[in-house]
Amino acid sequence: MAKSSRLTTMIIVLIPVAVGINYAGKFFAEALKLPLWLDSIGTVLAAMLAGPIVGGISGAINNIIYGLTVGPVSFVYALTSIGIGVAAGLLYKAKMFENAFRALISGLIIAIVATVISVPINVIFWEGQTGNVWGDALFAFLRSKNVSVWLASFFDELVVDLVDKVLTVFIAYGIFKALPKSLMYSFRQEQ
């Protein structure tokens, strides 16, 4: 019984911390008009600490809260955030965060996952664009060359996600490595 309540307490504390990290990252990126999102650092960290489900929940809650407080556009990308959390948790379980090289590969994989989930959303809601300066410039160029909306949207999303998700993973990886071993051990005991 104590083991179950301890896990619940740890997760109840972890999720809002992860959401806060996500929220701050996205708010910072938008305030500075960075061509990145930086809204998944907490999601990846939560997934590394507590698994794919907690990572996905953290990401989705962030999108809901950000959608309610800053921009409703965030709501529709909750699916992307769930995908990021699940992918990060599964990659962690597959020992893909053991060193910086594997973290880089994980960032690339997570970027692909985010792109595949986001492209249909972009096409349905925004005619294929992301609202990101880098990506949308590429989208406009590709569309001017008669590239299909779906393919142009894929590259629009991918060009941003590659940089954003690799940076996100490295920030989360750095935080994770800096955490006290006793905290990480507590999460391992509970899983």
For residue range 50-75, list pLDDT tens digits in order.
Answer: 999 999 999 999 999 999 999 899 99
* pTM (predicted TM-score): 0.94
**For residue 130, what pLDDT is reported?**
94
* Secondary structure class of 40 (helix, strand, coil): coil
Long-range contacts (CB closer than 8 Å, 24 or more residues apart) made by 159-162? 159/134, 159/135, 160/35, 160/36, 160/37, 160/130, 160/132, 160/134, 160/135, 161/111, 161/112, 161/114, 161/115, 161/118, 162/108, 162/111
**For residue 6, what pLDDT is reported?**
53
pLDDT at 129 over 70: yes
pLDDT band at residue 184 using 50, 70 and 90 as cut-offs? confident
**For residue 185, what pLDDT is reported?**
78
C-alpha radius of gyration, the chain, whole number? 17
- Cβ(139)–Cβ(133) under 8 Å? no
Amino acid at 175: I
pLDDT at 25 over 70: yes
**For residue 189, what pLDDT is reported?**
63
pLDDT at 91 over 90: yes
pLDDT tens for each residue of 104-120: 999 999 999 999 999 99
Residue 75 gets which letter from DSSP?
G
Residue 42 host element (H or E): helix 41-50
Mean pLDDT of 179-186: 87
**For residue 191, what pLDDT is reported?**
58
**For residue 5, what pLDDT is reported?**
46
Cα–Cα dist 87/63, whole Å:
17
